[in-house]
Amino acid sequence: MGISSAYKLVKGSVVAFVANYVPVYDENAGQPPSFPPILGTGFVVREDGVIATNAHVVRAFKRIQIPPDAPKDEWPVCALMLKLIDQGMVEIPLEILGVVMIGNFATGPAYYGPQQGPDLAFVHVKARGLPIVKIDSRSVIDEGTEIATAGFPMGTDALMAPGWIHQLTPTLQRGIVSAVLPFPCSTPHAYSVNIMAQGGASGSPVFLCDTGDVVGILYGGLNDYALTLKNKDVHRVPTNISYVVPSHYLVKILSEFTGLQDMRAPVDANTIDEMLQNTKLHNILEKGRDWATKKVDPKAEADRVFELSRLRLDQLNSGSE
């Protein structure tokens, strides 16, 4: 199997986390964006609506402003799935029900990773019958193993590079495992790969080029530093060295969900096909986006509503963030 075939096994499970509301401060001059802002990437790991992503992506949900009259139990973001049908590419927003993050993380004497544990979280959306990836946690990954990743690096900027929407898909990148951290072993705390990670790509699946099996999740990149020519200000420069949470962590945490009623699809959850059957489709590239925007008073409304939403998180996670 080549990388093109492997990507087809993964692509349909990739989602973008986008803002539900977009502030418009001048109602006369302001225009709805052509595409909602992208906070990060995720991918479906259970057909009943469980999506894997990074903990820092979930924490970014808190920074999204929402209007005061928004429903009090609504999350400020949704998981946007892109599906190609006969009429073109369809955007399917999936309602978020709650999130799960690592509460307590105990390390052994030979652990060299971050003390707070892997940068990993799970988002539960209202859907069922979702396409899932196949997770490989048994293979021992060696340096030089060919891998690929797909997500939304640079977020909306990449989709609108020329000033308008010219891309409605994730971006595929290919590379190799550059190092197994801290050294080659069966349960490393991370991999480094020679793929540049940019904002929006966090949470992307990392998979084997020959099978499509997911071996990890992209979570960050190594930065260099440079000086501006004029003012000699220090600024960060991304490199092509990025880091991946190995899939054995994914499998371990997913095993903890077994039997949890809250992690199952609600009885009124629909499949993607059912959602499409009950939706009036229109060509957004020809007719313009029908995107609801509201004027938002830039105050700490997001913090208040996020704390209400965290009640759901507390029910799912016995530990603390």
- What pLDDT tens digit does each residue of the chain (321 aa) get? 899 999 999 999 999 999 988 766 545 545 556 678 899 999 999 999 999 999 999 999 988 878 788 787 888 899 999 988 887 888 889 999 989 888 877 777 778 888 788 999 999 999 999 999 999 988 889 999 999 999 999 999 999 888 888 899 999 999 999 999 999 988 899 999 999 888 899 999 999 999 999 999 999 988 888 877 777 777 777 788 999 999 999 999 888 887 677 778 888 898 998 888 876 665 544 434 444 444 444 444 444 343 433 334 344 344 433
Q: Residue 196 falls within a domain, yes or no?
A: yes
Q: Residue 321 falls within a domain, yes or no?
A: no
Q: What is the pLDDT of residue 24?
A: 61
For the chain, helix, strand, coil in percent to 5 are 20, 30, 50
Q: Residue 194 falls within a domain, yes or no?
A: yes
Distance CA 246, CA 239 (A): 21
DSSP code for 93? E
- What pTM did the predictor assign? 0.82
Q: Residue 83 falls within a domain, yes or no?
A: yes
Q: What is the pLDDT of residue 70?
A: 79
**CATH at residue 26:** 2.40.10.120
Is the CB of residue 42 less than 8 Å from the CB of residue 79?
yes
Q: What is the pLDDT of residue 280?
A: 64
Q: How many CB atoms lie within 10 A of CB 3?
A: 17
Q: Residue 248 falls within a domain, yes or no?
A: yes
What is the token pair recorded at 181? 């951290």
Domain that holds residue 250: 3-316
Cα-Cα-Cα-Cα dihedral sign, residues 81, 18, 155, 116:
negative
Q: Residue 157 falls within a domain, yes or no?
A: yes
Of 234, 40, 24, 50, the closest CA to residue 133 belongs to: 50
Q: What is the pLDDT of residue 229?
A: 76
Is the CB of residue 289 less than 8 Å from the CB of residue 32?
yes
3-state secondary structure of 315: helix
For the chain, the domain total comes to: 1
The helix or strand, by DSSP H or E, that contains position 256, with its residue range, turns out to be: helix 247-256
